[in-house]
Amino acid sequence: MMFLFDRTYRLVVGEAGKKGVEIAPPFHIEFSVEKTAKEDPNKCQVKIYNLKPDTRRALEKPDAFAVLYAGYGENAGAVVLAAGAVIECITAFDGQNVVTALELADGWVELRDCYVSLGYAAGASAHAVIRDIARQMGLVLEMAADLPDHVWQHGFSHHGAARIALGKATAAAGLAWSIQNQVLRVVKKHGTTPRRAVVLAADSGLVGFPERFAQAATGKAAKGKGEKGAAEKKRYGWKVKSLLLPQVNPSDVLKLESRQANGFFRVESVKHSGGFDGGDWVSEFELFDLNEPPAAKQANKK
C-alpha cells in the first residue's frame, strides 16, 4: 500500500546549469502538465501566488530554465514532474493576489536551436547516430541496448536540424523518440521503456473506475516500395485517473489492477494537475494494452 499524503513541491527557476531561485511551500501553486509520446515538446503551466517583487523579477530573466518537483512527503517526496525552458512569464493582479504564470516547454531550446553536420562511412548504425545526436543536443539519452538497430551500407549523412536527423535515424530502425523531463527517450515504435511497471490499484491511488475508449484510425500507414498501403487499426484503450504519480511518463509501463481492466499497459499520454492548498493533485492517463499494439494491417492484398 502506498501512503499518498502530505502534498509537497519544489520549483527551481534559473539559467540552465546554474543555481536558480527556489520556490517551495507555503507558497500556493497550481500546475497543469501534459505529456505525450510524440516528438513535439511537452508543455507545463505553473501559477505561483504572491511572490515578492524581487523573486518575480528573477523569474522574468531571459533564457530561464525551470524544473518542477511534486509528490507526497510521506512517500518519495517531491520528484521531477516537468522540466524545460521558460517560454512565457506573466504576472497579473487578481483581487488581493499577485499571480505569476510560467509556461515551460520540454526540450524547447534543443529542438529549436540545435543543428548538426553528420557524416558516417559505410556500416554506420542507427544507434551510433542517435547517440551522437543526443550528445550534440546536450540531452541525456535513455535508449536500451537491445533495441532494434539499422546499418547503412552506403553510410549516412545529414546537415540541418537535429530533430530531423533524429527522425531519420529512429525511423530507419523502427524506433520512436520523445523528450521527457529533458531526457531524450528512444523506444521501439509503439513500444515501452524497460523501467519497472508502477502498480495502480484502489489501494495505491486509483481514483474512480477505468473508462474504455476507442481512438479512430488517423489515416494510412507509410507505404513501402511495392506496397499498396496499409490501413491503421482502430485503437482501444483505457482512461484512468489516479492520485499524483509524477514518476510515470509516456512509453512507461503501468500495471492496472481493477475490475474493469487488469494487466500491463503502455502509457500513451498523461496529464498531471494540482493545487498545493486544495483541489486536485492527480494524474490522468491514456493507456493501451501491450498485447494489442497499433500495428497496421495490410489492405488490398493480392
* pLDDT, tens digit, 9 for 90 and up, residues 58-80: 999 988 999 999 999 877 889 99
Least confident range of 3-17, 77-91, 120-134: 3-17
Between these two residues, 300 and 280, which has the higher pLDDT value?
280
Separation CA 263–CA 253 (nearest Å): 10
Supply the pTM of this predicted model. Answer: 0.89
Q: Which amino acid is it at 227?
A: E
Q: Check if 7-106 and 110-188 are the same fold.
A: no
Residue 2 pLDDT: 58
Separation CA 248–CA 269 (nearest Å): 10
Domain-by-domain residue ranges, the chain?
7-106, 110-188, 198-221+228-297
Residue 300 pLDDT: 43
* pLDDT, tens digit, 9 for 90 and up, residues 182-236: 999 999 999 999 999 999 999 999 999 999 998 877 655 544 334 444 556 778 8
| Residue 163 in grid coordinates | 530533430
CATH number of this structure's domain 7-106, picked from the four choices 3.40.50.300, 2.30.300.10, 3.40.30.10, 3.40.630.40 = 2.30.300.10
Beta strand 64-72 with 183-188: parallel, antiparallel or unpaired?
unpaired
Residue 220 pLDDT: 56
% of the chain surpassing 90 pLDDT: 79
Residue 301 pLDDT: 43
Separation CA 238–CA 209 (nearest Å): 10
- Judge whether 209 and 218 are in contact, CB under 8 Å: no
Which CATH architecture fits 110-188? 3-Layer(bab) Sandwich (3.55)
Buried b / exposed e over 55-94, threshold 16 CB at 10 Å, is bbeebeeeebbbbbbbbbeebeebbbbbbbbbeebeeeee
* pLDDT, tens digit, 9 for 90 and up, residues 242-273: 999 999 999 999 999 999 999 999 999 999 99
Q: Which amino acid is it at 67?
A: V
H or E, element range at 295? none
State the distance between the two ends of the chain, measured CA to CA, in whole angstroms: 55
Separation CA 59–CA 65 (nearest Å): 9
What stretches of 96-194 show up as alpha helix (H) in DSSP? Answer: 108-113, 126-137, 162-172
Residue 3 pLDDT: 56
Q: Radius of gyration over alpha carbons of the chain, in Å? A: 21
Residue 231 pLDDT: 54
Mean pLDDT rounded to a whole number for the chain: 90
Q: How many helices (H) and strands (E) does the chain have?
A: 4, 23
Residues linked to residue 125 through DSSP beta bridges, in sequence order = 151
| Residue 166 in grid coordinates | 533524429
Least confident range of 166-170, 195-199, 289-293: 289-293
Phi and psi (nearest 5°) for 133?
A: -65, -45
Per-residue DSSP letter, 224: P
* pLDDT, tens digit, 9 for 90 and up, residues 11-21: 999 988 788 99
Separation CA 24–CA 198 (nearest Å): 27
3-state secondary structure of 289: strand
Residues linked to residue 32 through DSSP beta bridges, in sequence order = 45, 273
